Amino acid sequence: MERTCLIIKPDGLGKRVVGEIIKNFESQGFKLVGMKMIRGGREKLEKFYEIHKGKQFFEPFMKFVSSMPVIISVWQGEKAVSRVREIIGATNSREAAKGTLRNLYGTDNRRNLVHASDSLENAKRETEYFFTQDELFDYGWDDWKDK
């Protein structure tokens, strides 16, 4: 089972579609193993997105992504990294396939609803950037039934 990191950006909160995003992943069999809402502040988010520092879009993007809290989550499932990327769609919401989350709720290349890990290595790095091991949970779907 793979794990991947997903960030719901400020436009997801502002458009009030957080529940739809979570429902989408749960309905496709993914298990939520960690979640938190943070107001990361520019410094924390700038370090996270440092690979893009110096690019033309970086400053406007940092202003946007630090404008409101973001929701960081970790999802587990078969081929989680590639499947989550398929579900969210292309980075530019205007080019995202019909029915993908970015097609349904995104606006453009910057206000594109979510960030998702693009490789197993980045999923691990991104998860460890935001979560300690104590904040990630391993459980069975039916653990609650006999309690």
Outline where DSSP puts E strands in the chain: 2-8, 31-38, 70-77, 114-116
26: Cα within 13 Å, side-chain hemisphere: 10
Rounded-to-integer distance, Cα 114 and Cα 94, Å: 14
The residues facing 73 across adjacent strands are: 6, 35
Residue type, position 143, single letter: D
- Write the DSSP assignment of 20-34 as a string of letters: HHHHHHHHTT-EEEE
Q: Is 52 a catalytic residue?
A: no
Among candidate residues 115, 116, 117, 123, the one labeled active-site is 115
Q: Which residues are catalytic?
A: 115
